[in-house]
Structure 1
Amino acid sequence: MIKKLLNFFANGIFKAEELEPIRPKLWAANRRSLTLFAALSAAATASGTLGGLFTDIAVMRQCFKGYLIVFLLNISVIVINNLIKRPSKKLQAILISLFVAPLYIFALYQAVFISPEDRPLILVVFLCLIPTIFIDAPARLFIDFGATAILFTVLGTTMVPEEQIGISVADVLIFGAAGVGIGLFFNKSRTERYLLSHRIQEMQNESEQMKYWKSISNIYLSMNQINLENDTFIQIRSHELVDAALKNNHEGYSKQIADVVKSAVDPDYVEAVMAFVDPSTLQTRLEDEDTITYEFLGKNYGWCRARYIVVDRRRDESIKQVMFLIESINEQKKREKELTAIAETDGMTGLYNRRAGIPKIKKLMGLKTPGMLCLLDVDKFKHINDTYGHQAGDRVIIAVADTLKATFRDVDIILRLGGDEFVFFISNVDSERIATNVFNRLFDRFEKVSIGCIPDYSISVSIGATFTKEGLSFDDLYSQADSCTYESKKVNGKAFTFYRG
């Protein structure tokens, strides 16, 4: 049992002897990823460093030293990584840690001190996406997760407000565990890809290859072996929709694959998939690769991934035969959608957060959609927190969010800026008369809301509203609505004010 556990931490679900032949390729893949992502990180932190030096942006000035340290580490990693010519697993592991550790520490600093309201987004980006960059031993994923969780717990219990400690630590545990799971999944799938390519190249004849392909064909919707010399193909596994588009089962691959694409692929993806399956460009696209992939939407079986794998090369490295595979990736897309939803959602209310909601409003404005932009503040919210505690304040925030969701349509965009501030954009409401009816309906709903832990309390809000107009940006409208909210605050009780400047 212990031996199996140690092997898992070192090699995942694979045996050490299975991985040995492909370690040089795994090392080369990690080397490329390390150079690319360290360069991207260096560019981002260089911008932050310059911003901290030459601007008055408070966040950048606060993080100046952090930006500079991460930038210098990234440059060091890039230089050392490119100086190493011979595979060295231990040295590469050190370089990966030098790249990853500062990013995790920087993420925790941002989540705890700089932007606690964006904590879920920050943790998704760092804890869930970084583990997918490298093909690495599971042990490092667990070590990174454990160290991050311990560090955040220490920071959380000393620096985070008491009422937020539980949810902060829970966020790290949830997203960290998700990151480990996602990292293990990506490690497994990418390692299997290299093992698959290696096994194919080891096979001495076509009968051995065919036997192997048939043994794994049940995981694919369609599987064909293509001879690029004479444009013939052998079907190993097919699908009824593919069969319906084929004129015969072995000749004229170039023409027939085009017919299959037109009949089986969602129209929005046909052009791109046609370019991907085109056999005339494979020699160039597979010159330095053994496999390439493209994801698309099928008409009848959802999200799919098409893949070409080199089966046989000539001595001059030109390609003789390839495998063309199609697999369903609906489950993977479902997981990606769930992660995106987490990153875009305010954890307390389920509304959009600032980073997700504002771009959606800007997009509607870019499409010239008429509408009304509103800011909403809860009246005397600080008094509620001070008198009845933060849990009571949280219940008020959730009740306001639920009332907004119940009042407005699915096409309307509602987001929580943070604290007791909300923004909503109501499409096609372009007059004060219609808007007044909308606000009265909203206020009527607020009258019916009760907060059990606050006796005799009725939610009171102040709203500032303005309408879209040609030439005005989101920032212009936000400024107008903000000034109106300030005016509404002067009124005792629920109030709304329109911008008439």
Structure 2
Amino acid sequence: MQTDLIIKENELIDPAIYPEDQRGLVEDFNARIKRLTGIITGIGKEYHTIWVINSKTMDMDLYRSTGENTNRSAVALGFQFDNYDRFIEEYVDRFVVTNIESIQRDVKMDYVLSRIKDGDLFTLDYMRLADDGNMSYHQMAFALAGQPGETDNFILAFRDIDKTIRKHIADKRYLREQLDIVETLSRDYYNIFKINPKTGDVVILKLDGYVTKGMEGAGEKVYSYDVLYKQYVKDRVYSEDQEWMYNAISLETIKSKLKDNSEYVSSYRVMDKGEVHYYQFTYILINANVPNSDLLAGFKNVDDIVASAKERQNLEILASTDLMTGILNRGSGERKVIDAMANNKAGMLCILDIDKFKEFNDKLGHNVGDKVLRGIADVLKITFRDEDIIFRLGGDEYAAYVMNLNDEEAGKVVLERLFSEIAKMDFPELEERKVCVSAGAAFYKGGVKQSFEELYKLADSGVYESKKIDGSAVTFR
């Protein structure tokens, strides 16, 4: 999708072809266009994804997406929710993992416009959760798409600043040698050690947590790294993680990890008084510009972070699940299909509707109707594969997107198996009534421009035709 704001300089109007009394207006028009394209081009040099948003209608248009460091799911989200308020709410909820409350406040339309109304650039830095589950430093930038008072459009741009931030930290680190760094780490880390990677000598800079056998409190006394490394793992680390931990924090591994990075972070589990707790270690170079620079090692408890992540995951699962049947609800199911299509994953979209379902409720009671609804969901689970997307549309309607299935013959085989399983449904309360469904199916071939709405309409029209046939049936479109 491209915005109509993209105008190249060689497409500007030539004043010479206009009468003299009109040339001033033409030159003014050209100047405004140059200012506009200049702003977008300037941001485009640094930001990998750029949206242009109308502050009146809140409509979003994708100006640029290089694919470089771009979160595919985030771009797909913009196409799914082309209203700024809805998009930014979903984006922050799904991808932002630090300072969430302040970010939610700062991205609201009124606040953004108040920051950029005079032509200023407004940026927000945060940690982003990427498609692969990793986190990185990221930045949003907002700017007017034109001169103050002359445009209703503004720009929302995204870029990955992970390398920039980490390099900045490394460049400044030599100024904060020991105590300055310790003060920074002390906000989070209970135990902090200074390590000489060449000799293996260790000095304790902070020791507020567990004290490893053979060590005392913070001071100038020098210990062997083996005391910290081997004794700590043996006495403190959860048995199932010990073998991994011995390798993870050996000096050889640490030096290898820090060859190309100024920071090495990972997590492990600790056994304390019969309970398992989650911990994190961080090793950083004191001066990334000096070969074999001394290291700082920090150890901290991250139970709260793990708990909140699990809680968030549970809430996400709950929000995406249809409570009646236990399969995906309409919103989450459609989002997954849209994402699959955006990634050119071919497949068959099948929509099915339970025939004469109203009779089950009216004549046999809603309890029986609910049993039928759950029974259909169970049949869908056993008929389709884990990679397929099954969800309830609402009422007595269901949908399935069957991955990598794009021809009618194969579709018939799958749906005949589905109909056979539905025919086996047997509840005593049905009083010999049989459950039948009417289905419609349509194919997305992949690599073809087609929206989910178009595919849905095709499949849905097939349901209407199948209703004219007795028993379970499918019509392909």
TM-score (norm 1): 0.43
**Bigger Cα Rg:** 2
Give the helix-richer structure, 1 or 2. Answer: 1
Give the strand-richer structure, 1 or 2. Answer: 2
TM-score (norm 2): 0.45
